[in-house]
Amino acid sequence: MYLLGISAYYHDAAAAIIFNGKLVAAAQEERFTRIKHDDRFPINAIRYCLQEAGIGLQQVDAIAFYEKPFLKFERLLDTYLAFAPKGLTSFVKAMQVWTKQKLFIKKYIRDELSLLDKTTASKIKILFPDHHFSHAASAFFCSGFKDSAILVVDAVGEFTTTSIFSGKSNSITLHRKLSFPHSVGLLYSAFTYWLGFKVNSGEYKLMGLAPYGNKGSGEVEMFKEKILQNICRVYDDGSVWLNQNWFTYATGFKMAKDKKWEALFGFKRRLPDESFSLQHTNLALAIQEITEDIMLKLCKTAKGLTGSKSLCLAGGVALNCVANSKIRDQKIFDNLFIQPAAGDAGGAPGAALAAWHIYFGGEKIQEAENLQMAHAYLGPRFSQKEIISAIENQGLVYEEFPEDVLVGIVAEALSRGYIAGWFQGRMEFGPRALGNRSILADPRNVEMQRQVNLKTKFREGFRPFAPAVKEEASAQWFEMDAPSPFMLFVYRVRNRLPLPAGFESLSIAEKLAIKKSDIPAVTHADYSARVQTVSEKENEKFWKLLDAFEQLTGCPILMNTSFNVRGEPIVCNPADAISCFMQSGMDLLVLENCLIWKNAQPEGAFTKQAIRNFADD
């Protein structure tokens, strides 16, 4: 049985296909359209999933959409009624969209699918599992656990913002839920907005900003007190109550009431691209610590309700790797699995898995190795022929090498300070690049974080980078005792260097300039690192590159960031990779077994930028 899962029309549209309960393919629509967080119907992602499965639409038994549109519409009506007459402009705009499209999603799905197969589209079964149920299924049915507590925390689904389930075999049972407008995700997004980042996109930037706050200062505690006394209440079970006098998200186009927040915190909302003050970093740290406390309380409640030794996490807040790490360190549960595509994109495989196990009664595969999601390499791959065609279409000079020779050349280039685009195998599903669509650099180089942020990715200089490390060497370099293949946890770096007196009070730029460990480019301000462990079994070629780098340098780690520049999705196909390479400060590009040196290209092939000469070093 083939089942197709779809998420669409809000943000991060995606598609996934499963065969007899096993995930075959999954991809976000943004990777094909090049529109970041594209929310439109994922026709390109669907086309890819069918192609990867080797079938046509007529062989799909059913389609599962990741939420119930009528329930969401009911929530919108209830909300506008509760706040009337406020929000009239927002209400009118929302109703125009709903009455023209979203109330008729089943028809729209059939209309879109008719581009693939008009006859099948007109009669195919379409199912609508609940939004949080789709999230829960995406985590539990990919976890390898026979039974588990399941915690879903996001902004909002239909009505629900937080939910606690238990999973057992092929069933999922709801125990408790929190409803809109009270939401941990919306609370965090309001501070994302206030600190100058884009909502539903910049939350991870807020998390990355928090460690620059002065943990020892009274200002962080003062901010926390103001938040908890005025903006929200946090209860012992992890539920929250948000004072709507401070927010506008229920009926408006913004998250917060700027004047009230300005009076409360003593400074104006930071605008995008404005510099950061210590107040900004302290406020980021305050809301991060409150969020961590909420998540820990929710996990303890889930433990009490289910009695399970295992926990599955999903929903957008589950991408907060610092909070995840606090949950791990508290050892509330013996086992922890987080869906690597925890946000709305993960609703696509979740909806399909929910349909298989619940609606169709498919048995859960008992062997953990067949059940667990061991990797996220679920997207498109490209042949050497397709890659060469893309290179030659651009008129670029390239060389082909056997794999073992190639990794040696690239490792040497990286060790000498060059920045590489690395494109191989199947594209990753979810927001993290895990060694198949990555930009790589030497983590030992103290200048590399600034250089890649500003000159290669054209983004904020404070943004941290993740280390990719050979799995078997991870415990020697980081304080960790288990694999972390999805970059969803942080760990303390070993071999830390002492920080100067007064470090906490320094500016971001001053903190960035201080070498904190033997691998400074991937060591954050608090000595943490968002680690990806790479196993030879799951990603042999990337592991070989790490191994070659270790043979040259003694360091089995590379700095790994997603292959894209600011404002664009991760690259999907060879043409995307070449375009990104041509526009950024990368020095070399690897496309499977093809190697392109920027300085070897004919004049006029690239946009104006600094091109270094590897041969002259």
Q: Which of 295, 177, 181, 282 is nearest to 234 (CA)?
A: 295
The answer on 535 and 398 residing in a single domain is yes
Other C-beta atoms closer than 10 Å to the C-beta of 607 total: 8
Q: Which of 260, 321, 278 is nearest to 484 (CA)?
A: 321
The answer on 163 and 120 residing in a single domain is no
Q: For residue 367, what pLDDT is reported?
A: 44
Query: What pTM does this model have?
Result: 0.93
Q: For residue 616, what pLDDT is reported?
A: 35
Asked if residue 80 is part of any domain, the answer here is yes
**CATH code for position 319:** 3.30.420.40
Asked if residue 379 is part of any domain, the answer here is no
Q: For residue 295, what pLDDT is reported?
A: 98
The answer on 73 and 149 residing in a single domain is no
The answer on 195 and 160 residing in a single domain is yes
The SS3 assignment for 571 reads coil
**CATH code for position 510:** 3.90.870.20
Asked if residue 585 is part of any domain, the answer here is yes
Q: For residue 550, what pLDDT is reported?
A: 98
Chunk the chain into consecutive blocks of 10 residues (it has 617) and report each block's average pLDDT, rounded to whole numbers: 95 95 96 96 98 98 92 73 70 71 83 95 96 97 95 95 95 96 97 95 94 91 97 98 94 89 96 92 98 98 98 98 98 97 97 95 55 90 97 96 97 97 98 98 93 86 92 98 97 96 88 93 96 97 98 98 95 97 95 96 61 38
The answer on 569 and 506 residing in a single domain is yes
Tell me the residue range of the domain where 194 lies.
143-338
The answer on 311 and 407 residing in a single domain is no
Asked if residue 282 is part of any domain, the answer here is yes
Asked if residue 519 is part of any domain, the answer here is yes
The answer on 409 and 305 residing in a single domain is no
The answer on 119 and 171 residing in a single domain is no
Where do runs of H (alpha helix) occur along 8-68? 30-33, 43-53
Asked if residue 577 is part of any domain, the answer here is yes
The domain boundary residue, chosen from 352, 373, 394: 373
Long-range contacts of 222-225 (CB under 8 A, 24+ apart): 223/265, 223/282, 223/283, 223/286, 223/287, 224/286, 224/289, 224/290
Beta carbons within 8 Å of 115's beta carbon, 6+ residues apart: 43
**C-alpha to C-alpha distance for 238 and 227, rounded to whole angstroms:** 16
The answer on 231 and 151 residing in a single domain is yes
Asked if residue 137 is part of any domain, the answer here is yes
Long-range contacts of 145-148 (CB under 8 A, 24+ apart): 145/310, 145/312, 145/335, 145/337, 146/364, 146/366, 147/308, 147/310, 148/306, 148/308, 148/310, 148/311, 148/312, 148/335, 148/337
**C-alpha to C-alpha distance for 119 and 6, rounded to whole angstroms:** 20
Q: For residue 363, what pLDDT is reported?
A: 66
Asked if residue 378 is part of any domain, the answer here is no
The answer on 398 and 257 residing in a single domain is no
The answer on 163 and 103 residing in a single domain is no
The answer on 288 and 159 residing in a single domain is yes
Q: For residue 77, what pLDDT is reported?
A: 72
Q: Which of 495, 210, 239 is nearest to 326 (CA)?
A: 210
Radius of gyration of the chain (CA): 24
Instruction: Provide the domain count of the chain.
Output: 3
